[in-house]
Amino acid sequence: MDEVEEQYNVELIRRVAQGDAAAFATLYDRFSPILYGMALRMMNDAGEAEDVLQDGFIYIWRRASAFDPSRSSLFAWLAMIVRNKAIDKLRVRQRGERLHERVSNFPELFSDRDERSALEPLLRESRARLQSALSEVSAEQRQVLELSFLSGLTHEQIAAQLGAPLGTIKARIRRGLLRLRQVFQGDI
Amino acid sequence: MIDEAKQAVAIDYVLGELSSTEAAAFERELATNQELRKFTKELRDGFASLALAAGAVRPPPDLFSRILAKTNSPKRSKIILVSFLPWAIAACLAIGLLILRAENSRIKTEVADLSRRDVLAHLQIASLQAQVNAYSKASAIVVWNAQRQTGLVRFQELPATEPGHDYQLWIIDPSEKAPISAGIVSVDSGNAATVEFRPAHPVTAAAKFAVSIEKAGGSTAPQGQIILVGQ
């Protein structure tokens, strides 16, 4: 995502931090489809995904002033907040069979389920780059990256579920993440 | 240069794999080490990009109102309070006018404040308001980067055009005889749009921004009705 886009985002969250409900509505309108899609993917339950998105945006409204552009892009900050809310819920309901389902039935990614929810053009461009970057890493690296982000499993849990040594899982995640860093350096 | 051991710690930090004590120690280091902070930011941005792999799905239409209700937004509280009173419409109009004036004044103050900040000094932010009653709800915010000659415009409450027509964004540059086209705008089904634009030719000074209704495909100069203007 380019500099103008990110500066627009920074201005938007600054206004949210000042209690500007209109800016909050704009922020929601702009990012909720991808964040809800992510929550839905993680929870695999529409009601729980709505709760996650709701908790996430309430947190964003209350803690907007904590956003620090030197620590992450706005998109990354929002995504990590909603992801953490989802992980909190997943850990509450976590059971052995759930873990197994979350690993073995991990759904196909990169498909918008609702045409009207098409991403913002610049997010769409970033996603195309992500898709391209993931196509360059090994299938094993891609699998653990996606599991690590979207399943909320710890490294130990991923290792146990995939039957691979913990060191191998960590190495795959690290290599994959360093590759993503290269692709999005100074971006998003 | 961040060595491999430090990179590994940064990765574990981003992934939430550090203990609270380790994370606190790493954060102290981040506060003083700019290179490490940049590296960690790039890692976090890369990791969060995985959210884009999930398909976009529009949340239920009423979810945002539920969120607002729980945020106890002062603006929201006012709306709920007055909506049940018989004189609500008149009161809302009066309050709305006051809010708009205050908002306009606040935005101007904010823009002035922003222009003083080095990081945003080259940015110009314009709030576009409706010029005709039929588009009274429509609004737009333009962020213009004069240095890079690119901008971003965000529309809200802008209804779709009639068939055979398009909205077109214009930049009014006093040094030019005619407004400069900044491209065609299509709104989505939610009557909103975010468009990155580049003018048809270089802009010396963007005094105003305007949106008109033109024939499909746009015009070289505005011929249709101007519906939004702002500076």
pLDDT in tens, A64-98: 999 999 899 999 999 999 999 999 888 887 654 45
User: DSSP label at B56?
Assistant: P
CATH of the domain at A17: 1.10.1740.10
Predicted pLDDT at B88: 47
User: Which of B7, B12, B57, B156 to mutate: most A Cβ within 10 Å?
Assistant: B57
**Enclosing H/E stretch for B129:** strand B123-130
Angle CA(B181)–CA(B187)–CA(B191) in degrees, nearest 5? 135
Residue B27 with chain A: CB contacts under 8 Å = none
Predicted pLDDT at B177: 84
Residue where a domain terminates, one of A58, A93, A128: A93
Percentage with pLDDT > 70 across chain B: 77
Task: Tell whether A86 and A101 lie within a shared domain.
Answer: no
Can you say whether residue A178 is alpha, beta or left, with left for phi > 0 and alpha for psi between -120 and 50 degrees? alpha
Task: Tell whether A39 and A56 lie within a shared domain.
Answer: yes
Tokens 């989505």 — which residue?
B188
Mean residue pLDDT across chain B: 79
Answer with the residue of higher pLDDT: B133 or B100: B133
Report the chain A residue with the minimal C-alpha distance to residue B198. Answer: A4
Per the CB < 8 A criterion, the answer to whether B185 and B193 are in contact is yes
CATH of the domain at A170: 1.10.10.10
Task: Tell whether A10 and A76 lie within a shared domain.
Answer: yes
Task: Please give chain A's pLDDT, 188 residues, in tens.
Answer: 567 778 888 999 999 999 888 889 889 988 999 999 999 988 888 999 999 999 999 999 999 999 999 899 999 999 999 999 999 888 887 654 455 555 555 455 555 544 444 455 556 777 777 888 888 888 888 888 888 888 878 888 899 988 999 999 999 999 889 988 887 775 54
| pLDDT grade for B80, boundaries at 50, 70 and 90 | very low
Task: Tell whether A86 and A103 lie within a shared domain.
Answer: no
| pLDDT grade for B28, boundaries at 50, 70 and 90 | very high
Residue B99 to residue B83: CA distance in whole angstroms = 17
ipTM over 0.85: no
Task: Tell whether A5 and A89 lie within a shared domain.
Answer: yes
Q: What is the distance in angstroms between the Cα of A117 and the nearest Cα belonging to chain B?
A: 5
CB atoms within 10 A of CB B217: 10
User: Which of A5, A8, A36 to mutate: most B Cβ within 10 Å?
Assistant: A8
Predicted pLDDT at A111: 54
For chain A, the domain total comes to 2
Q: What is the count of residue pairs from A and B with beta carbons less than 8 Å apart?
A: 217
Q: Is the pLDDT of residue B115 over 70?
A: no
Q: What is the pLDDT of residues B142-153, one digit of tens each?
A: 878 787 787 888
For residue B137, the SS3 value is coil
Task: Tell whether A166 and A119 lie within a shared domain.
Answer: yes
Domain containing A54 equals 1-93
Residue where a domain terminates, one of A74, A93, A112: A93
Residue where a domain terminates, one of A41, A61, A93: A93
Task: Tell whether A113 and A169 lie within a shared domain.
Answer: yes
Selecting from A26, A41, A58 the residue whose C-beta is nearest the C-beta of B54 gives: A41
Task: Tell whether A84 and A109 lie within a shared domain.
Answer: no
Portions of chain B given CATH number 2.60.40: 122-230
Report the chain A residue with the minimal C-alpha distance to residue B62. Answer: A50
Chain length of chain A: 188
Q: Three-state secondary structure along chain A?
A: CCHHHHHHHHHHHHHHHCCCHHHHHHHHHHHHHHHHHHHHHHHCCHHHHHHHHHHHHHHHHHHHHHCCCCCCCHHHHHHHHHHHHHHHHHHHHCCHHHHHHHHHCCCCCCCCCCHHHCCCHHHHHHHHHHHHHHHHCCHHHHHHHHHHHHCCCCHHHHHHHHCCCHHHHHHHHHHHHHHHHHHCCCCC
Residue B125 with chain A: CB contacts under 8 Å = 11
CB contact under 8 A, B56 and A33: yes
Task: Tell whether A88 and A100 lie within a shared domain.
Answer: no
Task: Tell whether A38 and A110 lie within a shared domain.
Answer: no
Predicted pLDDT at A141: 86
**CATH of the domain spanning B122-230:** 2.60.40
